[in-house]
Every structure is written in C-alpha cells, then in structure tokens.
C-alpha cells in the first residue's frame, strides 16, 4: 500500500463515502481521478477547494440529479481518491485535469462549478478550454488576476489570506495539517464559516481525508506555485493568458462574511467576462455557501442553469 495509490485500503473508506452516487476512477491528463456521479442529463462538473474533497458537494449532487442533470464531483490531483503525483500542481495543468475528465466522461461540454481553489481552476479552464465549458459557476474565489492584485496590493486581503503565505514554508504546513488527527482542518472549517458552523461529524470527515498519506503536501502545492511563480516566466505567462476574457455565461457567488476572501477582492471579476455575468452576495454566510446554506445555494444554482438566457 503506497501513498500514491488512491484505491488503497487506507484511503477508500475515508473517501468513497456511501450515498446515492456511484464512485469510479477515470484517466485524464496522465493521471487517475476519483469521481462521484449521479443522475442523467447535461453534465455539471463540481470541483472542490481547500481543505476539502469531492464530498463537499454531496448536497449539490443529489439536488442536481433530481433536477435532471448528470452531476459529477471530482477529486483534484493529489487529494481525496485521485493520484498523488510528484508534480503538476500549477493551475494550468490542474485546469487541464478538469477538462480532461470532462472529455473522459464522453461529454461534449459541462457546466463547470468551482469553489475556492476549484473556483480558481474553473476560471482558468473557461479561458484555456472554452469549448468544453458550457457555463461557469464560481463560489468564493475572485478571478485569478483579481486575486493576485488583491493579495499584492490590498493589505487587508493579504492579511486575510495569510495562510497562503504560510504555505510557502517547506514541510511545516504539511505537519500542521495532520497533527493532532487533523485538528487544524477543523479549525479552518469553523473559522472560515459564517454563523452556521459545520457539525463535528462533518469536520471529522475532512480531518480523516487530510490525514491520508501525501494529501496535505499535495493540497498546499498549488498555493506554493501561486506565490513562487509571481516573478517566474511560467507565472508571468499564466497571468498574461488569463487576460483573455471568459466568453460563457457566468454566475459568481460569494459569502458576505467570508474572512479569507474579502468581498471587495471578489467583486469586479465581471470585468474579465464578455458574456452574461451574474453576481450574488450571500448575507450571513462565510467561505462555504454551498455547505452553510445548501438549499439556498442549490436553488440559485439550478434556477440559473435552467435559465436559457441568463441576463446580467
């Protein structure tokens, strides 16, 4: 049993949680990815953020299936039940993982829904592979260029996102994330939420998933790239590429009480969208709107997906 084997006896019970969905692995972009899927109809691809995995979308999977969609939640490279690879954690490659999974599922395109880091990658995928993204939904994440500008120029956002700077230390964050049976994961989930805190059972699921060998390291690698690449040619090239506009209808959701991504940082991302763009600010919610108020989130999401001509 190795840390790179997501199907090991150690990881499977923590990741392949029972429900009305089906678990399976798909190959894409040189790696193997775990997905949970349910329903039939147009594909809706759900992409998690930090410090979570596919299970964060459990309420959306069932709601989307009931609404007539094929709902698929994937684990990002290095997390959950997907392969832990030694490299490949830059946003361009992670976005190609997502679009590669869409292709591997035999679908022509997908409505792409991303939260936190998954939202960052959803923005990226919509720019890099626009033909594969039918619609775009981003929660709790500014456009990548807005995020970079806010982290570098806004002292309040830089302080709010201090965990990103902390992730630059070698091995320290990995040890912190798994220490005391993953207690830090629970602290982050509760500190980043609004008043509707996750219960102990929910927190325990994420703590167990983070303690699977190599997960903590892989989970922080994308954040290391985001900072270390700022002055490198690959980073300059990436952010130059992200000047290209998003040309698919976009729904942008944000919790007004999000303590790590300020509303001011996220608002205005529509300047990068040359298509119908809808901004929704959730009062009373923090960093995890889809878990803090799943019914409200699902209603907004499904109504927007069903709207044949979403306006601005």
DSSP labels, 63-91 = HHHHTT-EEEEEPPTTSTTS---SS--SH
Q: Is residue 98 in some structural domain?
A: yes
pLDDT digits 0-9 by tens, 190-204: 999 999 999 999 999
Q: Is residue 1 in some structural domain?
A: no
Q: What's residue 301's pLDDT?
A: 99
Q: What's residue 312's pLDDT?
A: 61
- Residue holding tokens 């982290």? 151
Q: 280 forms bridges with which residues in the sheet?
A: 253
Give how far Cα 274 sits from Cα of 143, 247, 281, Å: 13, 5, 21
Q: Sorting pLDDT into bands at 50, 70 and 90, what band is 236?
A: very high
Q: Is residue 2 in some structural domain?
A: no
90 cis-preceded (ω within 30 degrees of 0): no
Structural domain total, the chain: 1
Q: Sorting pLDDT into bands at 50, 70 and 90, what band is 36?
A: very high
Tokens of 131: 């033909």
Q: Is residue 244 in some structural domain?
A: yes
Q: What percent of the chain has pLDDT over 90?
A: 94
Q: Is residue 124 in some structural domain?
A: yes
- Residue holding tokens 């880091």? 117
Q: What's residue 3's pLDDT?
A: 42
Q: What percent of the chain has pLDDT over 70?
A: 96
Mean pLDDT, residues 233-256:
98
Q: What's residue 234's pLDDT?
A: 95
Q: What is the mean pLDDT of the chain?
A: 96
Cα–Cα distance for residue pair 236/108, rounded to 1 Å: 31
Tokens of 73: 């939640």
Q: Sorting pLDDT into bands at 50, 70 and 90, what band is 10?
A: low
Mean pLDDT, residues 97-126:
99
Q: Is residue 5 in some structural domain?
A: no
Scanning 229-262, the segments in alpha helix (DSSP H) are 233-241
Cα–Cα distance for residue pair 199/222, rounded to 1 Å: 28
Model confidence at 7: pLDDT above 70? no
Q: What's residue 2's pLDDT?
A: 37
- Determine how many CB atoms are found less than 10 A away from the CB of residue 228: 12
Q: What's residue 231's pLDDT?
A: 87
Q: Is residue 68 in some structural domain?
A: yes
Q: Is residue 6 in some structural domain?
A: no
Enter the pTM of the model: 0.96
Which CATH number is 92's domain given? 3.40.50.1820
Q: Sorting pLDDT into bands at 50, 70 and 90, what band is 122?
A: very high
Domain of residue 51 covers 12-306
Q: Sorting pLDDT into bands at 50, 70 and 90, what band is 310?
A: confident
Are the C-beta atoms of 242 and 176 separated by less than 8 Å?
no
Model confidence at 4: pLDDT above 60? no
Model confidence at 11: pLDDT above 80? no
């Amino acid at each position: 049993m190795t840390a790179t084997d997501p199907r090991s006896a150690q990881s499977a019970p923590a990741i392949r949680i029972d429900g009305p969905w089906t678990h399976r692995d798909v190959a894409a972009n040189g790696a193997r990815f775990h997905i949970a899927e349910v329903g039939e109809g147009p594909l809706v691809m759900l992409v998690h953020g930090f410090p979570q995995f596919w299970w964060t979308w459990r309420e959306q999977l069932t709601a989307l299936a009931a609404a007539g969609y094929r709902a698929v939640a994937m684990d990002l490279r290095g997390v959950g039940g997907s392969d832990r690879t030694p490299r490949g954690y830059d946003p361009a490659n992670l976005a190609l993982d997502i679009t590669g999974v869409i292709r591997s599922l035999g679908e022509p395109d997908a409505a792409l829904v991303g939260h936190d880091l998954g939202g960052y990658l959803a923005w990226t995928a919509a720019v890099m592979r626009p033909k594969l993204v039918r619609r775009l939904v981003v929660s709790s994440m500014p456009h990548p260029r807005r995020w970079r500008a806010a982290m570098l120029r806004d002292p309040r956002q830089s302080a709010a996102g201090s965990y990103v700077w902390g992730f630059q230390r070698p091995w320290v964050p990995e040890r912190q994330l798994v220490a005391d049976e993953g207690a830090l994961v629970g602290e982050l989930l509760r500190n980043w939420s609004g008043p509707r805190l996750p219960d102990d059972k929910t927190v325990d699921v994420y703590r167990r998933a983070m303690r699977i060998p190599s997960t903590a390291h892989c989970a922080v690698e994308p954040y290391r790239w985001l900072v270390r690449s700022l002055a490198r040619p690959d980073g300059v090239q990436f952010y130059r590429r992200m000047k290209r506009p998003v040309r698919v209808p976009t729904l942008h959701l944000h919790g007004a009480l999000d303590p790590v991504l300020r509303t001011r940082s996220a608002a205005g991302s529509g300047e990068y969208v040359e298509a119908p763009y809808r901004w929704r600010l959730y009062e009373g919610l923090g960093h995890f709107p889809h878990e803090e108020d799943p019914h409200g989130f699902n209603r907004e999401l499904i109504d927007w997906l069903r709207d044949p001509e979403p306006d601005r």
